[in-house]
Every structure is written in C-alpha cells, then in structure tokens.
A and B are shown apart, each in its own frame.
Chain A
C-alpha cells in the first residue's frame, strides 16, 4: 500500500542516515473475540533529523506501531517483520538487549505527563535513573549520583525548564502540565537518543501549552538533529511539526507523502475525506456574515448574573473559585458556544445549569428558576425541559441497559408512556439521529463511539427539551465521526429550535456550531461576541493567545501563522 515514489521526497534524504527502518511489520493480538490483526503490513523509515508523523483514527494501529519500536507490546501480541534501529532488529532482541536500546538509541514520550512521572520521586531522580541504568553499558563504569544529577540538570535546561539547578529537586506535582511534559521529554533526551517516539505528546495538554511543546520538539530537531516519530490524530499538530506523514487506516498504510504535498494534494480518497473532516478555524462558521446577535426577541432560557461557584478547599486552604462573576444570557433557538481551557470553569457552568453543581453566589436563572437555593423537589418538574449530552459516550450509558431502555428512561420518569408509545417514540428518536430503529435492542458496548454519541443525543431530545447542554460532546470522537455528529447536531438544532449551551475546548468546533461565543479564562468570562468576530478579531489578550496557539491543518498557512504569532506566544 505504500505509495512513496522517490521523486516526491526531498533529494537530501538520500545522503542522510536512516535511524529507523520498519519492514513489513505485522502485529496480531489474541483477544477473547479471536485474533485481531492490529498492524497488517507496515513499512516505513525515518532519517536523521526528520519528523515523521503517523496519523490515523482510533483503531488504525498507529500506537501499536509506535510501541513495537520500543518493544513495549503486551504478552498477548505476536509480531513479525523487522523493526531496525541502528541495525538491531527490535522484534528478535532478548529483553536484556532491548533494555540496552531503550533510552540509548530510542526513547518514548507518553501522552499523559502526569501519569508518566512517578509522584514519589523528584524529577531529577527520574531523569538520572535512565542515565545510571545505561552507565555500565557504555564502558565508562558507574556514574556517580552527583554526575547523574548534573546531567539531569543539563537535560532540564535543554527543554527550557527555568532554574534547572533548583528545580531538579522538585516533585512532579510542583510542575504544571506543560512543564511535566517538558520533564518527560528531558528524561527521554537524557542519553541523547537518535530517535524519540512521541505518542500523542500534546493531546492531554491545553492549546496554548501545546504550542509551546510543539515549539520545543521542533527545536530538538533543529538543534540536536533528533529524529521524531510523532503519533497523533490531530491534523493541526501534523501541519505544524511534521516533515513527512504516514496515514494509517485499519492497520495498513494508506498514504505516505511529505507534509506539504499531503495537505495540498492528497492522493487517496481516505486521506482526502480525513482532511475534509478536520474543522478549520474560520471556515464553515455558523456566524459568517452576522452583524448582530440572533434570537434576542425570544424567551430567555438561562440568565447568569455575576454568577459565582466555589468548591470548598481542604482543611486550612481557602475555597477554590471555579466560576467568578460570570454574566450571560441564552435565548431559545440560540447556540451559545462556551470555550476555555481545562480548569477555566466551563464544565462547572454547564453542570450548574443542569443542577449537578450548586452555585454559591450571584444569580443563575434556568427556565426562570433561581438555582442559588436549589431544591431538588421543586426543580424536578423543570428537568424534563433540559437535555444533557455528556463528553464520554462510552461512560454515559448504563452498560446493563439496552440503548432503547436508556433513551426511554427520561420518558418513564416524567410522562410514563405505555409500552407501545415508548417503543414508537424511541424508534422515532433513533431515526431522527440517523440510527436504525433496531438499535434500540443493542447494548451500549455494541455501538461505536459516534453511534453512542448519536444515541446520547436521542436520549437528551426524548422529551423535546427547550434547553440542551452539550459538554464537549465530540472531543472523545475521531475527526471524521466528529464531523458527522456536528452536522447532525446542527440539523437537529435547526429542526427542533432548542436553546443550546455548547461547551468545548476546541475553537474550530465551537465556531462551526455557535453564532454567539463566550471565552472563559480562569473562571472569568473574558470575552463574548459573535463567533466570527471573536475568532477573527479577538479583543482580549487571552483570546488572542488562544487563537494564535491553535494549529491550523495546513502546513503553509500554519508556518505563516507561527511567524506572525511568535511574539504573542512568547516563544
């Protein structure tokens, strides 16, 4: 399937050394449901100082390929083919030889920096651990603790941790998420490996932090000639960093091309559709051409006035203000997009409107009910007018009930329909979200992520609510599925005309759906306005930084943006 004629690749490639060469790799997993061929036939190579991105949706085999490079596959996996790192075939090495290679020739950067670091050791100790483990092998004898620490400090300095002499003694919890990822990268760099495998290195991070980490990775390549295998599903990240891209689908390589060529003229249908599905800031905006806020003459569903929500602190620490003086209104028929990074309070606001969190100050009126002194008994009748779509479609259904039972649940509680009525309504609802009515009898685990999120939408709509709260409804989905769900969402919103609070961290997604956008930062609503105006001409510093950090899925445009925003991002 590999389609990489020599002509497209850079002519310099021939002179450079090949760091990693994967040849006809196959990986099969033994599972309860029989054998699963996760990687069918993958051949690729990485040159010195090259960033190769492996992109694909969940289940495409990209992570399995990455793990094979380090020999990290679980016992149930069987692999064949060859993975050559500096001439050694990882697949046929024994555990001792494999340990020699790991860290020295190839290192890994994990997705979630907070779990990749051991919380009970200082970061310096963790970086030194790798250095000392390899000391004997290099023929230089043992490395003293002092020497190892000195090299850990050096590594921390390389990744831009300020004051490394001092912070080498810090514990992981004393660093922020982005800094933790820097520490993980420092640990990977400690032995100057020629190759770093980064498995979704920025997925767990906020956009503004992501921009910094991408910049750091680019620096490594430029300054030290480190090759990077970047595993990601985010086309923006690919456009920002990658030199060459391998697109995987169901265990096979669909297309391989230099990044610019791939984005400009994808050859395969699959790649073309994948790229078309990626939301692009400023394209397909819901508020394009609008000059004033719509739906202002209609009923106001949610009115927040100086809203405050505090979480009680631990003994001796003050309460944490998650939402601080937020005011906004949401009218019927309107989609209000709430954007913010993690910890900005956006989910807290959504949960407070649904009565899952208590408000502690100011005023929040939901369908005319003051939430400040919420009493479940008096609020319950209003609940049938509020729908809620959760972030994780896998967890928001009771695994013991069928999809039909789950969708009928709100009806059974509020309107008590007969069996036949309930069945009919469930069928209608499933059809309105473009699922076959026969899916009512399936269990949640038998549906794919996108199908489950449609069913979740059907459940939220089952009582024709006036207000719908969607908390990151598409962030757990693959881009292509996300595109379909967003389209469906838009159609249904237009058809039913409910007011919707759409919460997301992804500016591009919010822009597609909502005409009025609010930007939250540390509990404060720093800016709100018509979507296209907020995105196109941000007023607040933070909004500007947020938009500048967002990588767009187009290498040429992204390179230009990066230059333009360099000062703003402080990189």
Chain B
C-alpha cells in the first residue's frame, strides 16, 4: 500500500486532514438551526469530557470520602456551605460523586463501544461479503439477541462476569460487556447491509476481475466505504450505553460506592429520600445523566441530518449577488471537464 501513498502530488488542492475529520467537516457544512443543534451538543459533550479528564482537580472530595480533617461529613445535608450540592444519606458529597461519575461513564462508553465496533464491523464485513450459510447463521443469532430485553441481558452478563462482586474494573467490564453484546448486532447489521450493497458496485467487481483476493477486497475496497455511518451510530450508542449503565446501577448491579462513583447507583440510593423532601441527592445525578445523553444525542442527530444531502440545510442564494466572474467555472459536483473537451476544437 505504501507504493501509492507516495504518489500523492502536492498539486492537488484539497481540504486539510483536520477539516475532513468527521465532526469538523460536519460543522463546516452546517448552517442555521442545524449548526446550533450541533454546537449545543458539542458544548455539552465537551464539558462532559473535560470534567471526566479533570475530575481529580475539580472534585472537592474523593468519590468514597466520608470525612475530612474536620471530621465526618454530615448526612443528608442541604446544599450550601462546605458541600455545594449537599450530602447523601451515606454521608457522601453529592458534587464530588457527580463529578467522579463522569469518569466511570466515559470508561464504560469507551470500552463498550470499542469492543462492539470491532466485533460488529468484522462480523458484518465477513457475513455480508461471504454470504451463504455463515451469513444466515449470524443474522439469526443477531436477531435472537435483539429479542432479549437489553437490560435483562445486561443483568445476566453482569452476574456472569463479576459473580455479584463489584470492583471498579469488574463493574465497568461487566457493564461494558453487557452493553457490547447488546450493540454488536446493531453494528453488524449496518456494516452487513453496506457490504451487501457495495459488493454489487462496479469497483468491487473490477477488483474481482483483476484477481484481488477476498481479504484484499474486504479490507481495501469495502471496509473504507462501509464505515461512513459509524460516527453516527457511535454517538447514538454512546448515549444508550450511559442509559444502560445507569439502569444497571439503579437495579443494583452497578459498582459499589467504595470502588467508583456511578450515577445510577446514587439515584437508586436517593429513592428513599424523595418522600422525605430531600431532592438534591436524586436531582443532580439525574441531571448529569440527562446532560450527557442529551449532548451525545444532539451530536449524533446533527451528524445524521448533515450526512444526508436532502436533510442538510443550505444558505439560500441571494437573488442579486450573481457575479459574472466565477460562474464560468461552475458545475462542481459531476465534473465540468466533460463540457470543455468540446468547446475548444
């Protein structure tokens, strides 16, 4: 492959690498409300990411800290004073746990999505390209997984992996693995559908005609063309991953408070507080979940709209501003060279 990369000439003006990255390119071609949605999503997601990375600096206390130099924290204290967002029934600082919770959420997203993308993409490529009985079996299995309620599946896997114990790593892996299993069929289906479509494209046939092997066709010709929709599923699945994690935690299959902070678990513990008028223990972890999911969903939906030329908004042309100069070099999409071949006999 190195043979041709050196062929890349400098004469060819094209957008820089950075400008062609998924989210950046989407931002550049967005206008109006669509750009607003994308920007809001990016800001929400950005704050989430920054908080996760800077959690040790931002959080006033550790996630499992119950006391400091002045002694034990009070329990169920209202927001204010030393504890900006109050404390829980167990005496944890709510603000600190919300902040540390971003780390757990991020780790689960990364592990879950990376695992499911790898497995899903490879299975989808092989299944779609080779077809036959292998394809049929894989599709049936994927459908069978769809039939399970995802939370039930997650609970079963959480039990299998951690055996009821809950360490930080065990908890995260259990949550991530269960999410992975639920998501693999989605990636599998998308990539398989794209592969089947691409398999009939003339450029794949032309690779077959020159004698390219199956592995080469899959990796070089199909893979790169089939993965265009991945950023979209990635963002949408990331938000679903958080919801599954929170659901697991809420049901009690999450991570113990001593090993990591987890929003769903905190929500569960806050249930009893609601009736006694203690709102801060439930509100803030809940808000954190909404914040993160909203941010990721907005990014995902914007990318979805922007990828589709029919849904993408464009600036309207102004009626009067039609300069004579650049119009001569106009048709952009399908190559103007065709016409010029004739015009100079």
A413 x B206 contact (CB < 8 A): no
Chain A residues whose C-beta falls within 8 Å of the C-beta of B338 in the assembled complex: 57-59, 448-450, 477-478, 480-481
Q: How far does the Cβ of B306 sit from chain A's closest Cβ, in whole Å?
A: 10
Complex Cα distance, B201 from A398, in Å, reads 9
A59 partner, pick from B8, B209, B331, beta carbons under 8 A = B331
- Closest CB-CB distance, B13 to chain A, in whole Å? 10
The size of the chain B interface, using a CB distance under 8 A, is: 49
A390 and B205 in contact (CB under 8 A), knowing A78-B317, A410-B210, A448-B337?
yes
B212–A413 contact, CB under 8 A?
yes
- A195 CB to closest chain B CB (Å) equals 27
Docked-complex contact B341 and A484, CB < 8 angstroms = yes
Is residue B316 contacting chain A, with contact meaning CB distance below 8 A?
yes
Are the CB atoms of A37 and B211 closer together than 8 Å? no
Residues in A401-457 with C-beta less than 8 Å from chain B: 401-402, 404-406, 408-410, 412-414, 417-419, 422-423, 426, 438, 440-442, 445-452
Bound-complex Cα distance A418 to B4 (A): 10
B211 to A413, Cβ gap below 8 A? yes
Q: Does A464 contact B (CB under 8 A)?
A: no
Contact A28-B209, Cβ < 8 Å, known A269-B345, A423-B3 = no
A361-369, A378-386, A534-542: which lies at the B interface? A378-386
**Chain A residues near B220 (CB, 8 Å)?**
398, 401
Report which of B7, B210, B327 forms a contact with A405, defined as CB distance below 8 A: B7
Query: Contact between A413 and B210 (Cβ–Cβ < 8 Å)?
Result: yes
B336 within 8 A of A: yes
Mark out the residues of chain B between 1 and 41 whose CB falls within 8 Å of any chain A CB in the assembled complex.
2-4, 6-9, 11-12, 29
Please tell me if A26 contacts chain B, counting CB pairs below 8 Å: yes
Contacts of B209 in A (CB 8 A): 354-356, 383, 386, 388
Nearest residue, chain B, Cβ from A403 = B7
Q: Point out the residue from A31, A36, A59, A440 that lies within 8 Å of B9, measured CB to CB.
A: A440
Q: Are A59 and B317 in contact (CB under 8 A)?
A: no
Q: Chain A residue with minimal CB distance to B331?
A: A59
- Asked if B80 is at the interface (CB within 8 A of a chain A CB), the reply is no
Contact A30 B314 (CB under 8 A): yes
Which B residues between 174 and 225 are near A, CB-CB below 8 angstroms? Answer: 201-203, 205-213, 216, 220-221, 224-225
How far is B202's CA from A391's CA once the two chains are assembled, in angstroms? Answer: 9
CB-CB contacts below 8 Å: A14-61 with B: 26, 28-37, 40, 57-60
Distance in Å: Cβ of A255 to nearest Cβ of chain B: 14
Given A59-B339, A419-B3, CB of A380 within 8 Å of CB of B211: yes
Q: Are B322 and A441 in contact (CB under 8 A)?
A: no
Contact A383 B210 (CB under 8 A): yes
CB distance from B341 to the nearest CB of A (A): 6
Pick the residue among B6, B221, B327 that contacts A37 (CB under 8 A). B327
* B70 lies within 8 A of chain A by Cβ: no
A269 to B344, CA, bound (A): 9
**In this complex, which of B207, B210, B315 has the most chain A Cβ atoms within 10 angstroms of its Cβ?**
B210
Report A320-340 CB contacts with B as 1/0, cut-off 8 Å. Answer: 000000000000000000000
- Of the candidates B207, B315, B335, B342, the one whose C-beta lies within 8 Å of that of A270 is B342
Which B-chain residue is minimally distant from A386 (CB atoms)? B209
- 8 Å CB contact of B345 from A273, A399, A405: A273
Give A442's nearest chain B residue, CB to CB: B12
Q: Find chain A residues with CB under 8 A from B337 CB.
A: 447-448, 450-451
Q: Could you tell me the distance in whole angstroms from the C-beta of A15 to the nearest C-beta in chain B? A: 38
The minimal Cβ–Cβ distance linking A245 to chain B, given in whole angstroms, is 17
State whether the Cβ of A12 lies closer than 8 Å to any Cβ in chain B. Answer: no
Chain B residues whose C-beta falls within 8 Å of the C-beta of A423 in the assembled complex: 3-4, 6-7
- Asked if B342 contacts A31 (CB within 8 A), the reply is no
> How far is B4's CA from A392's CA once the two chains are assembled, in angstroms?
24
**Interface set, chain A 261-317, CB cutoff 8 A to B:** 269-270, 273-274, 277
Q: Are B332 and A30 in contact (CB under 8 A)?
A: no
Least CB distance from A310 to B in Å reads 20
- A250 interfacial by beta-carbon distance below 8 Å: yes
Measured CA separation A291–B112 after assembly (Å): 73
User: Interface SS of chain A: helix, strand, loop or mixed?
Assistant: mixed
Given A438-B9, A448-B338, check contact A33 B212 (CB 8 Å): no
Chain B hits for A37, CB < 8 A: 322, 327, 330
Q: Is the beta-carbon distance between A480 and B336 smaller than 8 angstroms? A: no
**A459, B3: Cβ atoms under 8 Å?**
no
| Chain B residues whose C-beta falls within 8 Å of the C-beta of A516 in the assembled complex | none
**Is B333's beta carbon under 8 Å from chain A?**
yes
The reply to whether A35 and B317 form a contact with Cβ atoms under 8 Å apart is yes
A396 at the B interface (CB under 8 A): yes
Inter-chain contact B317/A30, CB cutoff 8 Å:
yes
A133 is an interface residue with CB less than 8 A from chain B: no
Contact between A31 and B201 (Cβ–Cβ < 8 Å)?
A: no
CA distance A438 to B343 in the complex (A): 23
Q: Is there an interface contact between B314 and A31, defined as CB atoms closer than 8 Å?
A: yes
- Across the interface, name the chain B residue whose C-beta is closest to A36: B330
Query: Which residue of chain B has its CB nearest to the CB of A440?
Result: B7
A7 contacts across to B, CB distance below 8 A: none
Residue B334 interfacial (CB < 8 Å) = yes
Q: When chains A and B are docked, how far (Å) is the Cα of A402 from the Cα of B224?
A: 13
B297-345 contacts to A (CB < 8 Å): 314-317, 319, 322, 326-327, 330-339, 341-343, 345
Mask for B95-138, Cβ within 8 A of A = 1, else 0?
A: 00000000000000000000000000000000000000000000
Q: Is A94 an interface residue (CB 8 A)?
A: no
Nearest chain B CB to A253's CB is how many angstroms away? 15
> Nearest chain A CB to B234's CB is how many angstroms away?
19
The answer to whether A481 touches B315, judged by C-beta atoms less than 8 angstroms apart, is no
Give B4 Cβ to nearest chain A Cβ, in Å: 4
Given A30-B316, A441-B12, A35 contacting B342 (CB threshold 8 A): no
Is A80 in contact with chain B by the CB < 8 A criterion? yes
**A422 vs B225: C-alpha distance in the bound complex, in angstroms?**
24
Most buried by A among B205, B209, B333, B345: B209
Q: How far is the CB of B6 from chain A (nearest CB, A)?
A: 6
> In whole angstroms, what is the CA distance A414 to B207 when docked?
12
How far does the alpha carbon of A105 sit from the alpha carbon of B339 in the complex, in Å? 34
Q: What's the nearest-Cβ distance from chain A to residue B202, in Å?
A: 4
Are B7 and A404 in contact, CB atoms less than 8 angstroms apart?
yes
Q: Are B212 and A481 in contact (CB under 8 A)?
A: no
B residues within 8 A CB of A441? Answer: 7-9, 11-12
In the bound complex, how far is the Cα of B339 from the Cα of A270, in angstroms? 10
In the complex, which of the residues A249, A397, A414, A445 contacts B211, with contact meaning CB atoms closer than 8 Å?
A414
Enumerate chain B residues within 8 angstroms of A459, measured Cβ to Cβ.
206, 210
Specify which chain A residues have a CB less than 8 angstroms from the CB of B202 in the assembled complex.
390-392, 395-396
Q: How far is the CB of A275 from chain B (nearest CB, A)?
A: 11
In the complex, A34 Cα to B316 Cα: how many Å? Answer: 10
Given the known A-B contacts A390-B202, A402-B4, are A35 and B332 also in contact in the complex, defined by CB atoms under 8 Å?
no
| A274-B342, A390-B206, A419-B2 known; A28-B8 Cβ under 8 A | no
A-B contact pairs, 11 of them (CB 8 A): A36-B331, A78-B316, A390-B206, A398-B224, A399-B225, A413-B213, A413-B216, A414-B210, A440-B4, A448-B338, A452-B335
Q: B residues bordering A, Cβ < 8 Å?
A: 2-4, 6-9, 11-12, 29, 201-203, 205-213, 216, 220-221, 224-225, 314-317, 319, 322, 326-327, 330-339, 341-343, 345
Beyond A78-B317, A395-B201, 9 additional contacts (C-beta under 8 Å) are A36-B332, A395-B203, A396-B202, A408-B3, A409-B212, A413-B210, A414-B210, A419-B3, A446-B12
6 smallest beta-carbon distances between A and B, as pairs: A448-B337, A448-B335, A480-B342, A383-B211, A441-B9, A33-B332
